[in-house]
A and B are shown apart, each in its own frame.
Chain A
Amino acid sequence: DVKVTQSSRYLVKRTGEKVFLECVQDMDHENMFWYRQDPGLGLRLIYFSYDVKMKEKGDIPEGYSVSREKKERFSLILESASTNQTSMYLCASTISGRGTYEQYFGPGTRLTVT
């Protein structure tokens, strides 16, 4: 079974702190994604990566950056956390191509910025 893990289920940080959210997948997937989920807004794509060291902006990249140094690991970075970044963050991965390739999700990290 595909397994996508995220470093923390719950995280509390202070405004202005630098925050790292880690995601690891064990199925050699090329593509990895970071989403943010807020009530009534569904899932919104922050960044995605289709290869090591490659990244593309999603719909809401402002205030975030990402890093992918190894194929299995995709990190989301909040350079200076703000209260409006309090949210659920979901990582996902999938193999490359346009077939029936569903995304596999991690358990999510609920981040609170105070």
Chain B
Amino acid sequence: AQKITQTQPGMFVQEKEAVTLDCTYDTSDPSYGLFWYKQPSSGEMIFLIYQGSYDQQNATEGRYSLNFQKARKSANLVISASQLGDSAMYFCAMRDHGGSQGNLNFGKGTKLSVKP
């Protein structure tokens, strides 16, 4: 069964606007971690933000924030004030009880295109 679901294959956003990329997850482990990565066209995977299941507050890193709704099992990425350089693939990933060696389960990704 798929553990990470990203329902938006592609999205467009106007430059300087905010955008939300959806991610839902499935786990029975009370202890887990959620990650977002960015992959520009050059191919490298860039770590953006992390949320632990026991964290009381939503994670933020600069223009990135994670809207963590535990009861809904969702971990949406919010990018504020979009820039042209934000155009990339974005992957949500989770580490749960099966990931004691740091294994991550990745979603299929969302391709974000920022329009000038």
Contact = CB atoms under 8 A, between A and B. Distances in A.
A87 B52 CA distance: 32
B105 to A, nearest CB: 8
Given A31-B101, A45-B103, A102 B108 contact: no
A100 B52 contact: yes
Interface of A: 30-31, 33, 35, 40-45, 48, 50, 56, 58, 88, 90, 92, 94-98, 100-108, 110
Contacts of A48: 101, 103
Listed residue (A42, A45, A100, A108) with the most chain B CB atoms within 10 angstroms of its CB? A42
A58 B35 CA distance: 19
A35 B45 CA distance: 12
B50 A42 contact: no
Contacts of B35: 102-103
A65 B31 CA distance: 31
Given A40-B9, A42-B106, A104 B47 contact: yes
A100 B43 CA distance: 23
A101 B102 contact: yes
Contacts of A41: 108
A43 B9 contact: no
Contacts of A92: 45
A105 B45 contact: yes
Nearest to A94: B102
A59 B50 CA distance: 23
B101 A50 contact: yes
A104 B45 CA distance: 8
A73 B71 CA distance: 41
A94 B100 CA distance: 11
Given A102-B35, A103-B47, 8 more contacts: A40-B9, A40-B108, A43-B93, A90-B45, A92-B45, A97-B102, A100-B50, A103-B35
